[in-house]
Amino acid sequence: MTGSEDYVSSSLLPWIDIKAKNFKNFMNLGVKKIYKKNSAIVEQGEKTDSIFYLSKGKVKVLLLTTQGEEKLFWYASEGNIIGDVPFFHFYPSNASIIAEEDCEVYIYDRNTFLNILHTNPEFADYMLNIMARKIRVLVNQVQDISFNNPTKRISKLLYLLTEQFGRKSEKGTELKLDITHKEIASITCVHRVTVTNVLSNLKNEGVIKKSKLGTIIIIDKNKLHKYAFD
């Protein structure tokens, strides 16, 4: 793929990895806090007047229904600003930010962060960029939910992951996934059992092959593309 095509594919994935360059210079203005794995940095329904710089670790942003069902929007890795949506819209957060692993976070109150933003135009560009990426991810998810069947949704996710993270081997293209069937189901808005069934069908069709735990080998990438986009 060309650089631009690679960017388009990666920007559809639910991984927010646009790092805030040089923001470490302002870490001394924030309050450092450690969040243990599975703890909430921002809870759904919480109104926050703070914004966060994720200096270490990984988080996920998800919506939890009263029935206990989850809709995963995206992951964010270290070097990213998180909690920006509830910070800027002033309403209670409509999603939770959960630590996927132990995380080191720097917390900034409104006045401190806005002062950084107003005196450093490059961070204003960063915030616009990251907001645009999140909108793109959400629009892609709405499109999938509205128009695509489960096989197409899951195949599309696998294909985009393969384009971004796959490594060629003698057996095909190896894709090491650190997400579970439950998380794939949450991203694509299908039942976990459906994920298992779709992956089994793709295996029977000779499109993929499961190797060791957490690794899928894409045997027929062209056929996976057909399932995903045709």
pLDDT at 42: 97
| pLDDT over 50 at 144, yes or no | yes
Q: Could you say which DSSP state residue 21 is in?
A: T
- Is 148-229 CATH 1.10.10.10? yes
pLDDT tens track for 98-134: 999 999 999 999 999 999 999 999 999 999 999 999 9
20-34, 64-78, 79-93, 166-180: the lowest-pLDDT one: 166-180
Task: Dump pLDDT digits (tens) for 190-226.
Answer: 999 999 999 999 999 999 987 666 788 999 999 999 9
Per-residue confidence (pLDDT) for residue 12, from 0 to 100: 77
Name the residue ranges covered by the structural domains of the chain: 3-145, 148-229
Cα separation, 106 vs 165, whole angstroms: 29
The pLDDT value given to residue 3: 43
Least confident window among 86-100, 137-151, 165-179 = 165-179
**DSSP element (H, E) containing 225:** helix 221-229
Kindly report the CATH number that applies to the domain delimited by 3-145: 2.60.120.10
pLDDT, tens digit, 9 for 90 and up, residues 39-86? 999 999 999 999 999 999 999 999 988 887 889 999 999 999 999 999
Give the other-Cβ count within 10 Å of 221's Cβ.
18
Q: Is residue 29 pLDDT above 70, yes or no?
A: yes
Report the distance separating Cα 157 and Cα 173, nearest Å: 15
Which pLDDT value is given to residue 165?
A: 86
Where is pLDDT greater, at 170 or 49?
49
How far, in Å, CA of 110 to CA of 206, rounded?
53
pLDDT of residue 128: 93
Give the model's pLDDT for residue 193: 94
The residue whose two tokens read 């360059």 is 21
Residues 6+ apart with CB under 8 A from 94: 44, 63, 86
Asked if the model's pLDDT at residue 2 lies above 70, the reply is: no
pLDDT at 212: 64
pLDDT score at 139: 92
Residue labelled with tokens 């703070």 = 50
User: 69 pairs with which residues across the strands?
Assistant: none
pTM: 0.85
Q: Which residues neighbour 35 within 8 Å (Cβ) at sequence distance 6 or greater?
A: 41, 57, 99, 102, 103, 105
For 135-140, which contacts have Cβ atoms below 8 Å and span 24 or more sequence positions? 136/11, 136/12, 137/11, 137/12, 137/13, 137/14, 137/16, 137/73, 137/74, 138/73, 140/12
Element (H, E) at 105: strand 103-109
